[in-house]
Chain A
Amino acid sequence: DIQMTQSPSSLSASVGDRVTITCRASLNIRTYLNWYQQKPGKAPKLLIYASSTLQSGVPSRFSGSGSGTDFTLTISSLQPEDFATYYCQESFSTPLYTFGQGTKLEIK
């Protein structure tokens, strides 16, 4: 089974900051990596798929990169609505999937 490890597990930042979240796969998953945002009491929302493709309607301050085992989600300038928990998901094993453990982004 593929293991997905996110770092950090939690992060404090301020509005306007540039933030990077990392996701590492236990084996080479090429670019089969997706990112989701989840706010308290809400369902997850797709942000980025296939490592770097922005889902329709998602602000351009979100970007993704990486291939192989190392991936990053970057928020270029944090907005108040961006404080949430972020999850990566590998799709190399489609139709089986594994999520990372999540990164909670909090206001400093």
Chain B
Amino acid sequence: EVQLVESGGGLVQPGGSLRLSCAASGFSFSNYWMNWVRQAPGKGLEWVASIKPEGSDRFYVASVRGRFIVSRDNSKNSLILQMNSLRGEDTAIYYCARDQGKRFVPGWFDAWGQGTLVTVSS
């Protein structure tokens, strides 16, 4: 069974940092693009970042570029989101999601974790 389990969320002050993890199981993690998607309280879904299977290519939504870093450890089947210089508008549930796409082949997110809540507040 495909499983994605996020962890690392919590309360952090504006300007602070937080590291989210997503543990993957039940599939060949190293073969898939992976993504982070967030959802602010009462709002819609926003794609945040994606990373190539080998980890060499990474892409970000404009609002987090330069502050967030997505990485992966294929030996541990783990996806990471390092979030720095956090702002109130980063408050959201953060989901990791498996992508069926390739670099130039459009994909879709067929597996999602349960999400982890990040709250940025003083």
Residues of A within 8 A of B (CB): 32, 34, 36, 38, 43-46, 49-50, 55, 87, 89, 91-92, 94-102
Contact B101 A96 (CB under 8 A): no
Q: Give Cα A101 to B46, complex, Å.
A: 9
Q: Give Cα A95 to B99, complex, Å.
A: 9
In the assembled complex, how far is the CB of residue A11 from the closest CB belonging to chain B, in whole angstroms? 15
Q: Give Cα A94 to B35, complex, Å.
A: 11
Q: Which of B101-120 contact A (CB under 8 A)?
A: 101-110, 112-115
Q: Give Cα A34 to B109, complex, Å.
A: 9
- Which B residue sits closest to A56, measured CB to CB? B110
14 A-B interface contacts by CB (under 8 A): A34-B108, A44-B95, A46-B110, A49-B110, A50-B108, A87-B44, A89-B108, A91-B107, A94-B105, A95-B101, A95-B103, A96-B61, A97-B50, A101-B44
Q: Give Cα A40 to B113, complex, Å.
A: 15
B68 proximal to A (CB < 8 A): no
Q: Which of B67-122 contact A (CB under 8 A)?
A: 95, 99-110, 112-115
Q: Give Cα A83 to B47, complex, Å.
A: 24
Chain B: interface residue total (CB-CB under 8 A)? 29
In the assembled complex, how far is the CB of residue B103 from the closest CB belonging to chain A, in whole angstroms? 7
Q: Give Cα A18 to B59, complex, Å.
A: 39
Residues of B within 8 A of A (CB): 33, 35, 37, 44-47, 50, 52, 57, 59, 61, 95, 99-110, 112-115
A95 — which chain B residues lie within 8 A by C-beta? 33, 35, 50, 52, 57, 59, 99, 101, 103, 107
Interface residue from B46, B106, B110, B112 paired with A91 (Cβ < 8 Å):
B106
B35 — which chain A residues lie within 8 A by C-beta? 95, 97
Contact B108 A91 (CB under 8 A): yes
Q: Give Cα A42 to B113, complex, Å.
A: 9
Contact B108 A99 (CB under 8 A): no
Q: Give Cα A14 to B64, complex, Å.
A: 41
B104 — which chain A residues lie within 8 A by C-beta? 94
Q: Give Cα A60 to B105, complex, Å.
A: 26
A45 — which chain B residues lie within 8 A by C-beta? 112
